[in-house]
Structures are given as structure tokens and as C-alpha cells.
Amino acid sequence: MLNIDEIKNGIVIDHIKAGQGIRIFNWLGLGKAPYTVAFVVNANSKQMGKKDIIKIDNTIAINFNILGLIDPNITVNIIENEKITEKIKLQLPETVEDVLICKNPRCITSTEKYVPHIFHLENPELRTYRCEYCDEIKSAGDFRE
Ligand SMILES: [Zn+2]
């Protein structure tokens, strides 16, 4: 396993639900990355039993809203000069824009293409979102990748 010590400046995405790591790996396009990436699946975790971890030896921009939609229990460690300088606890975003797409044909977003698809968190337990305009409910997992 790549130790955090081996990352000089980069990002560690930790506490990913086992089996979900590949989705994040692909979403971030890490298969084509020109820098070192360690992708650990089924690591032992005291809290979770098993977890996935992605260690990226580069500072890349990550949309934490989308990462929070994928899995709000993820933690992100920012590494600078081989030390953790920031721990980011993700959460389900209250509002997302053009991430979840409303499919209701009667919704204004279907008839007026310039209208952004805005969804608000409806139920954090169920991870559901409600369309700003037509009240259509979508699951957080339905985001556009
Ligand atoms: Zn709608």
C-alpha cells in the first residue's frame, strides 16, 4: 500500500464504502492520470469493516458536492509536504445545480433549455432530492457522471 508519507502533495479519499471506489476512480478519470494513484479496495477498517481508499499524488480539483452525493461518509485528506493539512468531512449538499437532471417532460427544465436543473435536499436519510420547479424526486445516486 502507498503510505501517506509517499504522497508529497496530493489528496487521500478515505472511508469510501467498499465497492464504491471504482465509481469515484472512474468519475475522476484516474485511469488516465499521468501522476501516481493508489487505489485500495477492501482495506480493513475499524469503523466500516471494509472500505476503499484512493490516494492521489497530485493536487487536483474535486467537486466535493458531487463526491458528497456519491457518498457523504467519505473523508478527504489534503496532503502538503507529506503532512495532512486539511481533513474535509463530506456531506450531502443542500442544493445542486445541473448535477441531478429532472426528467419530468412537463417540468420547465424540459421545455426551456436555458433553465438550470436545481435540486434541493429532501430527505437526508433516503438521500433524495426535490426539483426546484416541479417537485420531482430523484435519488442522490442518479447524478450525471
Ligand atoms: Zn423538474
Centroid of ligand 1 to alpha carbon of 143 (angstroms): 14
**Rounded CA separation 94/76 (Å):** 19
Q: What is the pLDDT along the chain (145 residues), one digit of tens a residue?
A: 555 557 889 999 999 999 999 999 999 999 999 999 999 999 999 988 999 999 999 999 999 988 999 889 999 999 999 899 999 999 999 999 998 999 999 999 999 989 999 999 999 999 999 999 999 999 998 876 5
The pLDDT value given to residue 95: 95
Cβ atoms of 57 and 80 closer than 8 Å:
no
Centroid of ligand 1 to alpha carbon of 91 (angstroms): 23
Enter the DSSP assignment of 113.
Answer: T
Closest CA to 70 of 100, 42, 109: 100
The pLDDT value given to residue 143: 76
Centroid of ligand 1 to alpha carbon of 136 (angstroms): 5
Centroid of ligand 1 to alpha carbon of 110 (angstroms): 8
Q: Which residue has the cell 480493513?
A: 44
Closest CA to 22 of 53, 62, 63, 58: 53
H/E stretch holding 82 reads none
* pTM for this entry: 0.83
